[in-house]
Amino acid sequence: MAQVLEFKLPDLGEGLTEAEIVRWLVEIGDVVAIDQPVVEVETAKAMVEVPCPYGGVVTARFGEEGTELPVGAPLITVAVGERAPSGGGAEEARTESSGNVLVGYGTSEAPARRRRVRQEPGVSGAAPATAVNGRAGVPEAEDGPLPVISPLVRRLARQNGLDLRELTGSGPDGLILRADVEYALRAAPRPAATEAPAPRPAATATPGEIRTPLKGMRGAVADKLSRSRREIPDATCWVDADATELMRARTAMNTAGGPKISLLALLARICTAALARFPELNSTVDAQAREVVQFDHVHLGFAAQTDRGLVVPVVRDAHARDAESLSAEFARLTEAGRTGTLTPGELTGGTFTLNNYGVFGVDGSTPIINHPEAAMLGVGRIVPKPWVHEGELAVRQVVQLSLTFDHRVCDGGTAGGFLRYVADCVEQPTVLLRTL
């Protein structure tokens, strides 16, 4: 006889207490294997798939897409020991449990192919998931598939009563992006859809306003930036540097064959070398103990802009990696950020952050420290500018470097020394080679 087990939203770690259902990966009646992902949720840190520790038949789902659930709330119920009516001698569904309930901790067994079983009369549950076509996550419209992949884009349109079929996407193959929805909302504001989840008490929007709740990742970013400004007495110093030789060195490295080396990887090597000389900036402040905690390792965060907002993936032990390894890890984490598959562990634990805002076409900025770190290096765009080189005016590749630091961990002399060393390595990469 089948035993019905309830699987609850697990503790996802890193202090997370709630998550929002983005997309169901199973339907009622599906047979699931142990540790097979059953739902995709968005936490304040990342988009993650939640595996179920039980194997059996899904008998109920709790919560529609867009619903926010606290840790410990029921997700699904699974009937273990249920037989699939696929003919005589049908294999019995697994009754084991992996015991794993944390995201990222599961067996190496591949998920079994889903098998449809007839739902027992009287078993309650949510409606089946929306049918999708060949492109994952693209819902079918009445007259064909909607070119939308991101569930966040669909939710934004739904909450504002916007019909996605009226839009022309600016992405590849007409893909509708978040920017397309936001542009349409600015151009022709519409009343919020009645099917949108009831918001927390807030001011009523007046005509001409669009109100977006500060929740999920956007809310987490807002809270962290506010905390940084509130708790850290930061200061910023900056310097212009001639990056011509650094760019030439990168070109020479990439024409020699082998994996391509990114500019970000070279800047990261310079950062880790500078932190070895000025370790005060690779630290954090324990305000309760009134102590500065210095680290003997560099877990390097780097700012990355995605459709879901700003994320800061972390390269573990960046000080022990060469330029090739750094390039590969930056590429992997950047792609995971774009697809929303970064894990909470890949977004936390940084000791220093590198922010290349030059990709946005700007020269300078005053970075906000990624709390609870003690410093962030900002890098502007590298552009040709008039520069005095070897006593003569010449056109050189110039970059502005900015360092924002926690004034509690060091004084301006240390911060200035760090920034000057970084600039020297940018101007003369051989300086870095002499200190390795």
Active site residues: 407
DSSP 218-280: HHHHHHHHHHHHHH--EEEEEEEEE-HHHHHHHHHHHHSSSSPPPHHHHHHHHHHHHHHH-GG
Q: How far apart are CA 52 and CA 43, in angstroms?
A: 17
For residues 69 and 141, the answer to whether their CB atoms sit within 8 Å is no
Q: Which residue has the tokens 């696929």?
A: 86
One-letter amino acid of 15: G
Q: How far apart are CA 290 and CA 77, in angstroms?
A: 48
Partners of residue 301 on adjacent β-strands: 314, 353
What contacts 337, CB < 8 A, 6 or more positions away? 304, 306, 311, 313
Taking phi over 0 as left and psi of -120 to 50 as alpha, with beta for the rest, 391 belongs to left
Both tokens of 6, joined, read 């309830």
Both tokens of 365, joined, read 């900025």
